[in-house]
């Protein structure tokens, strides 16, 4: 079952603009993570936010989490053509334990036009 | 270089044949995972293993089998019972107690 649902499914912007992607989930979580996937490649971890956090930053990335609305957003500022990729949110119901697994959404395809 | 390797990158098989996908990691990670990705879709969990000689079914285990005889290796066999095996298969690993997963480059399987 897929817990996270990203919105929009596809996003096309110009270089230099900001890109915002949203993720909604259904059940309570321990943490939410964002991953990036270039076409035909494996996923790369970008950032993790825990259920007791509301906002985190990493470079040009800003993630927010609203557990009351069961939603998260990923903001990429000053986008570059190299940011073109699919972005996935993934949720975990516990933290690194013996039965730890992630549930992924379907992703947002971001295209940054030069 | 530390990381996860999957081989081959592209794999073609005839319908009705079993095929084994390789996943090796030299990160000394305890847990390993297999996911399936279909076009325009997210990742769906097939099997995962937290320790050697132990593994659990994920959401779509039917038609697949795995083994975990060594910490660094977690091969996935796609059997003839899998109704629609053509997909992109991703392997991942995770250090025990940590929350993030590290992914291999994937194997694209096409069944003709």
Q: For A36-75, write each residue's pLDDT tens digit.
A: 999 999 999 999 999 999 999 999 999 999 999 999 999 9
| Mean pLDDT value across residues B35-51 | 93
Put simply, the answer to whether A98 touches B92 (Cβ < 8 Å) is no
Max CA distance (Å), chain A: 45
CA-nearest residue to A106 within chain B is B42
Contacts of residue A17, Cβ cutoff 8 Å, sequence gap at least 6: A79, A112
Is any Cβ of chain B less than 8 angstroms from the Cβ of A98?
Answer: yes
The proportion of chain A whose per-residue pLDDT surpasses 90, expressed as a percent, equals: 85
Residue A15 scores a pLDDT above 90: yes
Helices marked H in B5-107: none
CA-nearest residue to B90 within chain A is A42
CA distance to partner chain B, nearest, from residue A98 (Å): 6
Identify the band that residue B31 occupies on the pLDDT scale cut at 50, 70 and 90. very high
What's the mean pLDDT when you consider all of chain A? 93
Of B40, B43, B104, the CB nearest to A104: B43
pLDDT value of residue B2 = 63
pLDDT value of residue A97 = 72
């Amino acid at each position: 079952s897929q817990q996270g649902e990203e919105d929009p499914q596809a996003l096309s912007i110009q270089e230099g603009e900001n890109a915002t992607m949203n993720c909604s989930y259904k059940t309570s979580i321990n943490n939410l993570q964002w991953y990036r996937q270039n076409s035909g490649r494996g996923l790369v971890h970008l950032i993790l936010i825990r259920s007791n956090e509301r906002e985190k930053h990493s470079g040009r990335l800003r993630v927010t989490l609203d557990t009351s609305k069961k939603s998260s957003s990923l903001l990429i500022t000053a986008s570059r053509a190299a940011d073109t990729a699919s972005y996935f949110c993934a949720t975990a119901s516990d933290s690194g334990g013996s039965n730890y697994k992630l549930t992924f959404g379907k992703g947002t395809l971001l295209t940054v036009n030069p | 270089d530390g990381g996860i390797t999957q081989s081959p990158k592209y794999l073609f098989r005839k319908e009705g044949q079993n095929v084994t996908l390789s996943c090796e990691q030299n990160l000394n990670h305890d847990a390993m995972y297999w996911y399936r990705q279909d076009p325009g879709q997210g990742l769906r969990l097939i099997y995962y293993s937290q320790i050697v000689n132990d593994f659990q079914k994920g959401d779509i285990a039917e038609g697949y089998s795995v083994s975990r005889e060594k910490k660094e290796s977690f091969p996935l066999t796609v059997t003839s019972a899998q109704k629609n095996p053509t997909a992109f298969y991703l392997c991942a690993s995770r250090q025990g107690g940590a929350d993030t997963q590290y992914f291999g480059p994937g194997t694209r399987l096409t069944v003709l």
